[in-house]
Structure 1
């Protein structure tokens, strides 16, 4: 039986239905037409459209592409938000530029987006070797964007919410964090004699502060009498991205990683002298540089008084390890060493978590799984006195 149609458009036969959307300023009815290969298909398109309007969908979304709208959202809303740090926006922009712009998702009309299209793209990324973690980060960003699209009426529902999307790839086992042994610490400390970064490295081991937190410290943050460091900011080197996409690499001082990162950290009494050594060196640097010295209140500065460049510090750190003939470990391993030594000395998990500025105890426990099992084992061994057969 032939399918009935009632109009011809561009040489093809379709079934056409129409809907009245309202009236214009002159009282004339506003009509919208829907076409299908059959009456039922045309009626279904009409129903979906009217249901979308009822649910608050933007009726002008038909030609808007996913990538174009995401670009607008990213650069005109997220970039100027005071809740987004420059480091976070730099990461978002990188994900968009590398995995949305130029991807199959970019040219999809936002009004026609289906979860299966997103899933297929994730699957294709996994097939070419992209990690599960990368795809998960892309999904998190898209989920934020789709929430915006729903709020603004471009989508009726977020395709990344619920169980519609599966992140492909195998979950990688968490690697044991790098830390220094007692023997390695002794070698490192011996090799730091007369090194400009000696105090910075020793304070990292003795306080567990992140590199950026250390570099952002001012003398107002140091309470020598009570042996406390107030952590309330962090230094980062990021690309500041303008609305037109242009970039400039800058060093910035920003609020710490999480709310829990704003904290007070005590330091061992034996490290008190380090701050006196820093002040003495800064006075010498100032005398040597004269008027060209940059006067600031920062604790860790270059020979000219400027903030320490994180890239230069990384190079210096590599050279220090080579000089000491120690295996390469990231600077962050100093922070892990601090935590590991606390656990080895039976400091409570909650206390370690607070000192590190972690957002939760679970994060601390999951990070230091290499230490905690031994701590549990040692705790159980203390019950041996009960079983004195």
Structure 2
């Protein structure tokens, strides 16, 4: 790493009258602010006034006692202090800022310049405060090595493997979460390199851990289970479950849905906004989209519209207290109770969206499903292909593999 230059340190010495006698002090200023230090007893006597009216000092007469300082001694002490401070400052500058300061700067830049969503900022802040700052916060960026990071990550994952309850990591990190934490750390270093605070990003060459994701065991509900769950939830919650499972809308998109986004004539739900952490934003992909409205969805929305109030174009489809937005956390808790009441496997609310993806890909093209779900990357949609019914594909290939002379095959057998 290259130092940006030798930091400038300014200072002076002065004498103060104490009960024990005159004492020399040094005062200096560097990049971290102003500092003051006692140097020792002063062997001085007045030598008139300086241009500001203060006392000018010179060495006292006679033999100087051990440990006492003349004006020249005090100045030499100050010169050594300034040299040490400048050297230490140059080293700190070469190593870059403290990780905690760099992390705060990165997050502030991401919010104010890149315009990340409030929910994304909350996630990043949680990663910084609960994982990265406690371990690396007090260290300078240039002191943190790739080995340090990998060693810490591996320890956290090992703890996570020992502390899994019902498939959930309650202490430490799962491989997937460890990858997310290091992705945030990569962002901190990348921003610091761009700002020329350091020259190296030790996270850049760390390979992500293999995750335990098994596409054949993706947690989804069947259509019958969706209706069973909706009946157990009842009322508006039941309607939200059906709409989520059969349109693929994210929870925040459901909460932000307005009646003007529902086109019964064209059997279409328009996804134009999302609500999360007290903020109304664009959908995750930052693209509006249109989703086909299946008859089951149209039916529950039609019933919901018969509530007799707050059904104007700008009113919310799903109402929270006082006609405001639904509390997402409270909805999740009620959803968990409904799952238990219905005797169904406990899945996340987001798995209702996966339910839509797995059901839709069996009847529509991958490109259609990508558009309906608002995936920016086709690879995300491709995960659902593992659930696609391949019976028609097998029939399609049957002619290609049919032999022209069955008796030859029989003879070979």
Q: TM-score, normalised by structure 2?
A: 0.64
Q: Aligned to 1:133, which of 176, 179, 202? A: 176
Q: 1:145 maps to which residue?
A: 188
Q: 2:392 maps to which residue?
A: 378
Q: Aligned to 1:180, which of 221, 239, 246? A: 221
Q: 1:246 maps to which residue?
A: none
Equivalent-residue separation in structure 2 for 1:210 and 1:271 (angstroms)? 15
Equivalent-residue separation in structure 2 for 1:113 and 1:348 (angstroms)? 47
Q: Aligned to 2:148, which of 111, 117, 140? A: 117
**Does the C-alpha gap of structure 1 residues 143 and 382 become closer, same or farther in structure 2, counting only changes over 3 Å?**
same
Equivalent-residue separation in structure 2 for 1:124 and 1:323 (angstroms)? 39
Equivalent-residue separation in structure 1 for 2:280 and 2:187 (angstroms)? 26
Instruction: Name the SS of the counterpart of 1:253 in structure 2.
Output: strand
Instruction: Name the SS of the counterpart of 1:281 in structure 2.
Output: coil
Q: 2:319 maps to which residue?
A: 301
Structure 1 residue 147 displacement after superposition: 1.7
Structure 1: segments with no counterpart, 5+ residues? 1-18, 25-57, 239-250, 287-294
Instruction: Name the SS of the counterpart of 1:230 in structure 2.
Output: strand
Structure 1 residue 155 displacement after superposition: 1.1
Alignment of 1:162-311 (within 5 A): 163=205, 165-167=206-208, 170-174=210-214, 176-188=217-229, 191=232, 195-236=235-276, 238=277, 251-259=278-286, 262-269=288-295, 271-283=297-309, 297-302=315-320, 304-311=322-329
Q: 2:364 maps to which residue?
A: 347
Q: Name the structure, 1 or 2, with higher relative contact order (CA <8 Å, separation 6+).
A: 1
**Does the C-alpha gap of structure 1 residues 81 and 341 become closer, same or farther in structure 2, counting only changes over 3 Å?**
same
Structure 1 residue 64 displacement after superposition: 5.0
Describe the superposition over 1:309-352 as per-residue Cα deviations: whole angstroms up to 9, x where unpaired: 112212222233333333333323322222222233x3212211
Contact kept in structure 1, 2:244 and 2:251, CA below 8 Å: yes
Structure 2: segments with no counterpart, 5+ residues? 9-89, 161-172, 407-413
**Does the C-alpha gap of structure 1 residues 329 and 117 become closer, same or farther in structure 2, counting only changes over 3 Å?**
closer
Q: 1:323 maps to which residue?
A: 341
Equivalent-residue separation in structure 2 for 1:368 and 1:310 (angstroms)? 30
Equivalent-residue separation in structure 2 for 1:127 and 1:327 (angstroms)? 28
Contact kept in structure 2, 1:213 and 1:235, CA below 8 Å: yes
Contact kept in structure 1, 2:94 and 2:198, CA below 8 Å: no
Number of aligned residue pairs: 306
Structure 1 residue 190 displacement after superposition: 5.1
Equivalent-residue separation in structure 2 for 1:265 and 1:106 (angstroms)? 45
* 2:369 is aligned with 1:356: no
Equivalent-residue separation in structure 2 for 1:64 and 1:385 (angstroms)? 67
Contact kept in structure 2, 1:119 and 1:166, CA below 8 Å: no
Give the root-mean-square deviation of aligned CA atoms: 3.3
**Does the C-alpha gap of structure 1 residues 180 and 76 become closer, same or farther in structure 2, counting only changes over 3 Å?**
closer
Instruction: Name the SS of the counterpart of 1:180 in structure 2.
Output: coil
Instruction: Name the SS of the counterpart of 1:264 in structure 2.
Output: strand
**Does the C-alpha gap of structure 1 residues 355 and 93 become closer, same or farther in structure 2, counting only changes over 3 Å?**
same
Structure 1 residue 263 displacement after superposition: 0.8
Alignment of 1:92-103 (within 5 A): 92-103=124-135
Structure 1 residue 135 displacement after superposition: 2.5
**Does the C-alpha gap of structure 1 residues 125 and 178 become closer, same or farther in structure 2, counting only changes over 3 Å?**
closer
Structure 1 residue 75 displacement after superposition: 5.2
Q: 1:244 maps to which residue?
A: none
